Amino acid sequence: MQELEKKLNYTFRNQELLREALNHSSYANEHRSQGLGSNERLEFLGDSVLGFVTAEYLFARHPDSPEGELTRLRSYAVCEKSLFEYAKEIDLGDRLLLGKGEEMTGGRTRPSVVSDAFEAVIAAIYIDGGIGEAKKFVLRFVEPYVEAKPSFKDYKTILQEVVQKNQGESLKYVLVSESGPDHDKHFKVEVHLNSNVIGAGVGSSKKKAEQAAAKEALELMGI
């Protein structure tokens, strides 16, 4: 416990909270006679704390980003893959209490298991030390992870969000041409709003051409 607390940079007043955060449901089921609870309830709370702290950070740190971009950044920061990476920094998988079957099938390295436990730890810190300590712990992982994310604007999604504000409007991407040898392909795509061409783009793949077409459409709209 002390070794884990050092990695967490937090010392629990009530260590039972930390122990509960490490109890996978498979372990709790095997030790039901001892009255052990699993970390599922803590995971539920930790998910909300993580989402709130991350949203608050992004709102303050990126004042010029629209709602759609903030939502994408939050999704990136709190997805299972990201939580698994955070958990590996503190060797959380090695500390989990697993049932025999879960242990034998590689539960310690399963992203779903380890990321759930990470959320449970967040909740345990929140209950034990309050929102300030939980925020400090969450941002230790989220802040550098988000800010290191390669900047990439999903123009297709932005355009879709703009169009969806008007009911009955529909977008369609049409492949106009494809040229070049297999190792050097060039695709031209048009984006249609209903029956009107509102943008065109060229790229080395259909996806890149579609992004270029959406970008041109947004620029023509003044967005």
Neighbouring-strand partners of residue 201: 189
20, 47, 102, 210: the catalytic one is 47
Tell me whether residue 119 is one of the annotated catalytic residues: yes
20, 43, 102, 119: the catalytic one is 119
- Residue 74 near residue 58, CB atoms below 8 Å: yes
Tell me whether residue 161 is one of the annotated catalytic residues: no
HEC-encoded secondary structure of the chain: CHHHHHHHCCCCCCHHHHHHHCECHHHHHHCHHHCCCCCHHHHHHHHHHHHHHHHHHHHHHCCCCCHHHHHHHHHHHHCHHHHHHHHHHCCHHHHCECCHHHHHCCHHHCHHHHHHHHHHHHHHHHHHHCHHHHHHHHHHHHHHHHHCCCCCCCHHHHHHHHHCCCCCCCEEEEEEEEECCHHHCEEEEEEEECCEEEEEEEECCHHHHHHHHHHHHHHHHCC
Amino acid (one-letter) located at 162 = V
Which single residue is written with the structure tokens 């992982």? 141
Report, as residue numbers or ranges, the catalytic residues. Answer: 47, 119
